[in-house]
Copies of this chain bind each other. A is one copy, B any other.
Amino acid sequence: MSAELVFVGHIKTPYQTTAECPGQARPENGTSQIIVDEKYASAINGLKVGAHVQVLYWLDQADRSVLKTVPKWSEANEERGVFSIRSPARPNPIGLSTVEILSIDKTIMTVTAMDCIDGTPLLDLKPYIHHLKS
C-alpha cells in the first residue's frame, strides 16, 4: 500500500550537502526561506509574521531501507529503531520542524533556522497550536 506525494515548493538553507547539515536547527545558524510554488500561492493565505508553523518536507537523500541505526548523539553506540529517533533514515523520510515566520514576501517566507539541505522539497505547512500539543 502506498500513496503519492506532490512537492509544493522548496526550502532554501545554507547547507549544500547532508554532511554540512547541523543535525538540529539552532538559532545561531541564521534564517531559512520557504518558497511555495506559484501554483499553491493561495494556500498560504492567513499565515502571518510572528506565527509558528510546522514545516513538513521530504528528505530526498535519506536511506529508506534502514530500520535500526546508531543515533549521532549516542554515547553508548547503541542501535535504536528509527521510530524512536529523529534520524532522516526511515521508511518515509518526512522531515518535521517548527519555525517562526519572520517575514513574508508573496510566496517566499523567511523563517527561523532549519537544518535540511538547500533545495529540500516542501510538503506541507501547518499552524503550530501549542495547546493541541500537535
**Residues in A lying within 8 Å of B, measured CB to CB:** 1-8, 24-25, 36, 40, 42-47, 52-54, 56, 58, 60, 64, 67-68, 79-86, 90-92, 94, 96-98, 121, 123-127, 129, 132-134
> Is the CB–CB distance between A43 and B90 below 8 Å?
yes
How many chain copies does the complex carry? 2
Name the one of B8, B67, B82 contacting A91, with C-beta atoms under 8 angstroms: B8
> Is the CB–CB distance between B124 and A92 below 8 Å?
yes
Name the one of B94, B97, B123 contacting A134, with C-beta atoms under 8 angstroms: B97
Closest 6 pairs between A and B when the two form their complex, measured CB to CB: A46-B84, A45-B81, A83-B125, A46-B80, A1-B7, A43-B81
20 contacts between A and B (CB under 8 A): A2-B5, A2-B7, A8-B91, A8-B92, A42-B67, A43-B82, A43-B90, A45-B68, A45-B81, A46-B80, A46-B81, A46-B83, A47-B81, A47-B84, A52-B133, A54-B96, A56-B92, A56-B96, A84-B127, A86-B127
